[in-house]
Structures are given as C-alpha cells and as structure tokens.
Amino acid sequence: MNELASSMSFPRAFAAILAARGIDSPEKARRFLNPSISFLCDPFLLPDMEKAVLRILQAVQRKEKILVFGDYDVDGITSVFLITSFLREHGGEVDYMIPHRLREGYGLSQRGVLSARKMGATLIITVDNGITALDEVAEANSHGIDVIIVDHHEPASKIPDAHGVIDPKRADSAYPFPDLAGVGVTYKLIQALAEAAGRELLRDINEDLDVVALGTVADVVPLVEENRILTRLGLEALESSSKPGIEALKESSGLAGRKIQSEHIAFILAPRINAAGRMGDSDSGIRLLLSQDIHEAKAIAEGLEDDNARRRQVDEETLQQALAKLEKTYAGDLPPGIVLWSRKWHPGVLGIVASRLAERFRRPTVLISVEGDAARGSCRSVAGFDVYEALSRCGNLLTGYGGHSHAAGITLDKSDLDTFREIFVPMVDESLRGVDVTPRLHLDYELHLSEMNEQLATLLEQLAPFGVGNPEPVFVTTGVQVLDRSVVGRGSHLKLSVKQGSFFAECIGFNLGYLEKEIACSEGDVSLAHIPWLTSWQGKSRLQLKLKDVKGQ
C-alpha cells in the first residue's frame, strides 16, 4: 500500500482502498483506473465461437434468412439490437423475434421455430437464452434449420444439440471470465465476426458500447474485469451517443446533458426499457434502439414513460397484496422461505416485488401468478442460498426453470403449487439454518476529516462503475460533533453540519431522514459511515459527505 501511495502519488486512503480490492501494484492500478478495449480477452476462447462465426458469415454471404431470437428484458433487448444491427449493416437478411412475456414466457419456443420456418429462415441465433432449449433446438434441426446459441445462463448437465453453443459458463469453456451478461457474450460474437470478416467495417463496433453498458448494468452481473471495462467505456459512450433512441430515452427521463452513472441505468433508463416488456409487449424497447428517426424515437420513449408509470402502480398494488397475504398466511411467524401465489398478480412485476420482499424480510422469495391451470413465478434469493441449484432439485415438479444463483424464473402446474412450497421451504431452512443473513455495511477505511479533499473525491470517482463485485467504498469517521441537523425533501433526507477537531464538513443522507430523531436523542459525538463526493450545483462543485449511516458513540 505504501509503495502504491508513493509511486502513484495517491492519498494513503485511496491506496488502501485499491489494495483491499487486490490492486496492489502500480501496473494493476493503471489497468484498473484506465480500462481499455485492448484489455478484453480473445473472443475465440469462447466455446464454439469459430464454428458459429463461420456459419453466420456463410449465411450473410449466401443471403440466407436469419432469425434472431431474444428475451424481453433489457439484457435480451440490447443483445437483439447488437447482432441484428451489425448483421443488417453488413448485408444480412435478418429479422428478430422477442417473445411476449405473458403469452409465451422466456426462451426459444416451438412458436419461435415455427416462425423461422414460415419466414424461410435457415439459421436461428438465440441471444440471452437458449442454453436449456433442448427440445426446441431438436425441432429446428428436424426442419433443416441450424441454431447458434449465444447465452450466459447456467447450462444443465446436457446442452442442446445446436450448430454452436457460445456460453462462458459451459463446463468445457476456456474463457477466463465466466460472468459476462448476455449482451456481453453477444458483443464478443460481434468482435469475433468483425475480426473474421477481414474487411473494413461500416462503423466501429465500439460505438455500440452504450447499448452494451445498458444491458450489463441492468442484468446485475458483477461489475469487475470485462464487465467493468465494457460498462465504464459504455457509460462514456452513453453521454455522447448519437443513436436517436438513446437521445430520446435520456431526454424523456431527464438525463439529457448529464453525466451518466451506473445507478442512472439501474434506476432510470433500464426500468423504462423494461416497462413495455413487463406489461406485455417488448417490441417498444427494441424499436426504440433500432430507430433511425428522432421523431419516431421520441414517440416511442414517451410511450415507455407511460408504461413505466403504469408498471410502478402495478408494482405497488402487488406489493401491498403480497404483504397482506403474507400476514394472513403466516401471522407474523415467517418461514425460512416465502412462497406465495395469486390469480390477481401481473407476471411482469413479480421479479421486482419478490426482490423487495427478499430484501425486506431477508428470505428467499418466490411469487407466482396463476392463470387457468398454469403457474409462472419469479424467485429472488439472499446471500448464502443458490436459488438456481434449489430449483434444479425440484426439476421433476417444474415444467420449466432458468436463471442464476440469485434470481430465477419458473413455470409449473397449478396443482403442484402446494407440493413445490413443501419442498422449497425446507431446502431454504437446511441451507440457511444458523446463517446470519442480516445485511452488513462494509467499512473500507477510517478517515479523518483532515484527509478529505477534492483530490480524494475525484480519485474515488475513477473506481466507478459501482455495483455487484465493485461496491462504492464506504469510510468511517469517529468522534464527530454534530453542529446542525435538519431533514429535507419532505422529511426523507438527512442534512448535517459536522466538525472533527478543527475540520468541518457538510453531509447529506438520502432516505436517512428517520435518523434525525435518533441523533437528537444521542449524547456526545457520533460516528459517520460515508462516501466523500463532489456535488455540482449551478456549475459549481463542492465537497460533501454522502451518508450511509450515523451511530451515537
């Protein structure tokens, strides 16, 4: 740490943050703080990449019809945009299909294969799905249609008999980084196609990093290594993007002209692209990205704004219904895992509501919508419980499932709901018994207010983008005297003026307004968990502490 601080002229606090994240040499620091496309791995290390590239180039050259089959979330939509726009620009006869969330559900379907047959397609490329589509690939094969799977989800013990299966999570994969989002794997395919084509491209594929960042952040994959590189460069591309769809989306969501950060994607941009798919129709999202006309793009973006407002209303209604059902079913004595279902619930918002319940009650949560004799649900987990592995043990009971360790989707027969709950809840109990799943605020470094300055805050910004695997560093400062306190934003936010020795600081705690009374009742000094940050107002920057927590001493 001392070597890093002296050789790079870093403040000791910043060097300590880097060292704690395994960045303990000047060379590692330079690579981490200055990511470059040149740092990405060779795309041909991915399994089946070479044969997939050869088949796609053959299809383009022969003017074969190609069907791109995607998914209805942001990762899937951005993946469809990448491969569709690239192939069309280079002469490919390409159409796309995104399944209807409510009518068809996730993944390559028999209807998708039928659509390929009707359009005369001889090649299907699945993106962000397909790794479990054994029957559907077999059906396509039987009609002389080749399938190339481009996915990042966990494979089962057997993979489809496709022409190519590109997935960094395959057991036989030699690719060094397995945690790419679906759009990341699709970008690697485009990299490989561009390299293999051996001719001048119509445009730089890195112009599409704005879209890669959207899908990567939205899919909540670890923002480390390749994901960090793609997202960091993609955020820069988002700010200056000339795509009409991106411009319209930023304008309608109030982000035009602003510096775009990962949280803007997670909480503002992605929910709007997702909104149409959650409420039923994903075509608006892909049409927005593919649009070449700013007036058309603005109209689509305004429609997504309306969809998102409606989605928020349905979210809240579903949450309140789930809470009422939880109280009625368990009367406050919650089981280790939560499994609830209803005929009233909109399938498109179950994942969001399940996440909120899992976070609130610190329990793996499964919410299921029932329609007729069929049931479709979303699962969200907590640290220490692999929900995908648990579902694999319920395989005979489910008609379908897929996802990751922390989030998954399921389909099953209505008649099996009680049995599923009877099996799932004991599995949670067995895995988490005695395990403390209480969220902990990790404190990275004890910082004196004398060490806080604009240089440190500016350097901390270079650690972004923040997310899973690369959290925003949190400092602790003890022995702090509160000089003034207030709540702002209709009582939601906490504002403090503090002093430590002869050093002063202004603090803001978003959604921490409830702590004001606790501070008022405490005697003596307090400890602050915080992040130094530069805030801008009317063109002027000033240093503040962004509070994460306040404790009396």
State the amino acid at position 486 in one-letter form. Answer: S
Using alpha carbons, select from 327, 311, 315 the residue that is nearest to residue 356.
315
Q: Considering the domain boundaries, does residue 261 fall inside one? A: no
pLDDT at 1 over 80: no
d(CA 297, CA 86): 20
Instruction: Count the Cβ atoms, other than its own, within 10 Å of residue 288.
Output: 27
pTM of the entire predicted model: 0.86
d(CA 70, CA 65): 16
What is residue 404's predicted lDDT score, i.e. its pLDDT?
Answer: 82
Mind listing the pLDDT tens digit for each residue in 161-216?
999 999 999 999 999 999 999 999 999 999 999 999 876 555 678 899 999 999 99
Q: Please indicate, yes or no, whether residues 56 and 7 belong to a single structural domain of this protein.
A: no
Lowest mean pLDDT among 125-139, 174-188, 264-278, 288-302: 264-278
Q: Which of 208, 226, 252 is the last residue of a domain?
A: 208
What's the CATH code of the domain at 53? 3.90.1640.30
Asked whether 109 and 399 are in contact (CB, 8 A), the reply is: no
Alpha helices in 343-383 (DSSP H): 350-361
Asked whether 153 and 403 are in contact (CB, 8 A), the reply is: yes
pLDDT at 102 over 70: no
Mind listing the pLDDT tens digit for each residue in 386-417?
999 999 998 789 998 888 888 999 999 999 99
Mind listing the pLDDT tens digit for each residue in 485-531?
999 988 889 999 999 999 999 999 998 998 998 898 887 899 999 99
pLDDT at 471 over 90: yes
d(CA 480, CA 502): 11
Query: Mean pLDDT, the chain, as a whole number?
Result: 93
Q: Which of 181, 208, 235 is the last residue of a domain?
A: 208
Q: Which of 409, 432, 455 is the last residue of a domain?
A: 432
pLDDT at 65 over 90: yes
The stretch 321-332 carries a mean pLDDT of 90
496 φ/ψ angles, rounded to the nearest 5 degrees: -130, 150
Q: Please indicate, yes or no, whether residues 49 and 186 belong to a single structural domain of this protein.
A: yes
What is residue 530's predicted lDDT score, i.e. its pLDDT?
Answer: 97
Q: Considering the domain boundaries, does residue 502 fall inside one? A: yes
Look up the domain containing 367 and give its range: 334-432
Tokens of 158: 């057997």
Q: How many residues does the chain have?
A: 553
The domain total for the chain is 4
Residue with tokens 């489809």: 160
What is residue 204's predicted lDDT score, i.e. its pLDDT?
Answer: 78
Using alpha carbons, select from 330, 342, 393 the residue that is nearest to residue 366.
342
Q: Considering the domain boundaries, does residue 52 fall inside one? A: yes
Mind listing the pLDDT tens digit for each residue in 330-387?
887 899 999 999 999 998 899 999 999 999 999 999 999 999 999 999 999 998 899 9
276: pLDDT confidence band, cut at 50, 70 and 90?
confident
Q: Considering the domain boundaries, does residue 416 fall inside one? A: yes
Asked whether 150 and 186 are in contact (CB, 8 A), the reply is: yes
